[in-house]
Structure 1
């Protein structure tokens, strides 16, 4: 399941779906299918700006089209997890599971997101701990130098 958060869309696919979406947008007649396919590609992009754009498109679909709600929620969870918005990702996972509680793919996604949160939380705490130690060492060094001068 980890690969669903790291998988990137082939450039050709992104360009193809982007072209269809923009052609329809120009005609002011975007179908939910075209918007979803483009958003689906965007949330699988390697660029955070694309992922965020895909999330916005999926949120619009979620609010305006009852059909496809499960897919919108699933890819909203993936998009948010990919930009490290884990709390939002988990809220979309929970919303999906409230519709379909036994979906193993989404349960696995939830587990993967929680593991990433734990891993990055520990890394963040270790970095913060290292900064505290470094500051403490500098203060101690400063005090030692100051006491020698007296």
Structure 2
């Protein structure tokens, strides 16, 4: 009996927690990537500069700070047209999807993941994030329905109480 109750509360806790496995980056990682970009832009190869910009974009969209995430999204959107290969395109689309996921823009995130999966249909990272996004959308829908039902119940109860007092 106790185990059943424990499982019940665990399932409720997991319902309300964010179950994603996406890593976070901190300010030190971002600062290190910014230094690397600055060094690479001072005469290094274009390939090294591109790689350092991709690392910075990764760090930004994985940040806990919303302004960093937005900056990463802007960088990736700007560089999306400059992709030389499907692999680069896929990576940028995925990082954009992570940024939109972190920004709670789940429909945009899902569209970008679909584009990633057109390029690489069996890419596990994109498949995993897509499942997480779809679960989040479904969970948000259930919570929204619950809130709406509660509000309707409260209003109906209030009307019923008012009518009872009137009689």
TM-score class normalised by the smaller sequence: 0.7 to 0.9
Whole-angstrom CA distance in 1 between matches of 2:148 and 2:40: 49
Give 5+ residue unaligned stretches, structure 2: 1-18
Q: 1:65 aligns with which of 83, 86, 89?
A: 83
- Report the counterpart of residue 30 of structure 2 in structure 1: 14
Matched, 1:137 2:157: yes
- Report the counterpart of residue 47 of structure 1 in structure 2: 65
Whole-angstrom CA distance in 2 between matches of 1:66 and 1:122: 42
Taking CA–CA contacts closer than 8 Å with sequence separation of 6 or more, which of the two structures ends up with the larger relative contact order?
Answer: 1
Give 5+ residue unaligned stretches, structure 1: none
Stretch of structure 1 that moved more, 83-92 or 101-110: 101-110
How far residue 122 of structure 1 moved from its aligned partner, in angstroms, is 0.8
Whole-angstrom CA distance in 2 between matches of 1:117 and 1:101: 22
How far residue 21 of structure 1 moved from its aligned partner, in angstroms, is 4.2
TM-score, length-normalised on structure 1? Answer: 0.81
Matched, 1:32 2:39: no
Q: Deviations over 1:74-129 (max 9, x none)?
A: 11111111222111111111101111112222222211111111112211211121
TM-score, length-normalised on structure 2? Answer: 0.74
- Report the counterpart of residue 126 of structure 1 in structure 2: 146
Runs of at least 4 residues off by over 3 Å: 19-25
Change (3 A) 1:62 1:143: same
Q: CA RMSD in A?
A: 2.7
Check whether the contact 2:26–2:64 (CA below 8 A) recurs between aligned residues. no
